Amino acid sequence: MESTCITIRHGENKQFHANTDCRLIVFLNFLKDKLDLPRKELIDLCDESGNLMLIFLCKNQMENTKHLVPGRCTFIVCRIAKEENESLYNIIVPVIDNPGPDLLDLLQMNLGKAQQDQQQCQPHVQKEKQVKGRPKKSEHASLEPQPKPTKGKSKADKR
């Protein structure tokens, strides 16, 4: 049986354990409550090497977190934001004291790369334009009058 327990590092050398065997929305709200972050805050997890888990990009908040985050690992919670007039998230702040410049650089690089990868993977759906009005002449059945079928025998049959 796989382990669903992870360690969360935060503050100044503080940590706690969290169970990932729950819906993502429950897991994220637990982390926010535990770290006194606003519920509307956008957060993600990164490992100690700066690799983001990208759970903030998950569209299905009802997905089980254990499928998104490996168990028996240590993670740091990161706040994610974007500057005004920006389309991509470009601000990432780990919720630990003194993260170090190497971790900050890795996080910033990984955040940008992850979003670019995600944008390239999304299919571009284009809606076809629907033309209102009458169909083109070629789309109609023949407009010339068709001979009416006759009841009974034809002239050829009467002979």
The residue behind tokens 């994220």 is: 28
pLDDT (tens digit, 9 = 90+) per residue, 89-138? 889 999 999 998 999 999 988 888 877 766 654 433 333 333 344 444 43
Q: How confident is the model at residue 111, as a pLDDT?
A: 87
| Separation of alpha carbons 48 and 45, rounded Å | 10
**Topology adopted by domain 5-121:** Ubiquitin-like (UB roll) (3.10.20)
pLDDT (tens digit, 9 = 90+) per residue, 129-158? 333 444 444 333 333 344 454 555 555 555
- Say what the pTM is: 0.71
Give exposure, 120-138, as e/b (b: 16+ Cβ within 10 Å): eeeeeeeeeeeeeeeeeee
45 — alpha (psi -120 to 50), left (phi > 0) or beta? beta
